[in-house]
A = this chain, B = another copy of it.
Amino acid sequence: MLHILVHMATSRDEAMTSEQLAGFVHTNAVVIRRAFAGLREAGIVASARGHGGGWQLAKAPETISLAEICTALGESLLPFGTEPEAPGCLVEQAVIGALDEFRRDAEKLLAEKLSRVSLADIAATVGPNMHLTGAHSHAS
């Protein structure tokens, strides 16, 4: 996903079709549209229908942070959930309490770190000057 967004950041002038974006990560156009729906609602990208339409960043890459992207995608920063399996068990309640506290702290920390990195930051580490060499490696 980031891969695609950075590609869009490196060629902001022209809109790209779902088909093209899908090609970057060897997936399907519909998958791209589904995933980008959240980003559009969050005001990160914009889409245009019809001839000459496609996707573009909705604002400057400098103002798009990774934290923003994660939130828009509705993804958790931590790989575990804390839904009770045996409601009423005091042991489980204690575990969930400890885990939720950890989760709160950890998510704040990670979000803070991610909010410091923008699409432009990553784009700046591409190459240098890859946009001049055309070395995208996305043959067709």
Question: Which of A's residues lie within 8 Å of B, judged by CB?
Answer: 2-3, 6-7, 10, 24-26, 66, 75-79, 85-95, 97-99, 102, 105-106, 109-110, 113-114, 117, 121-123, 125-127, 130, 135-138
Which residues of chain B are within 8 angstroms of A75 by Cβ–Cβ distance? 79
Which residues of chain B are within 8 angstroms of A117 by Cβ–Cβ distance? 98, 102
Instruction: Give the interface SS of chain A, mostly helix, strand, loop or mixed.
Output: helix
Closest-by-CB residue of B relative to A93 is B126
Closest-by-CB residue of B relative to A27 is B85
- A85-B3, A86-B138, A137-B89 are known contacts. Are A95 and B122 too (CB-CB below 8 A)? yes
Give the Cβ gap from A127 to chain B, nearest Cβ, in Å: 6
Check if B94 sits within 8 Å of A125, measured CB to CB.
Answer: yes
Check if B90 sits within 8 Å of A130, measured CB to CB.
Answer: yes
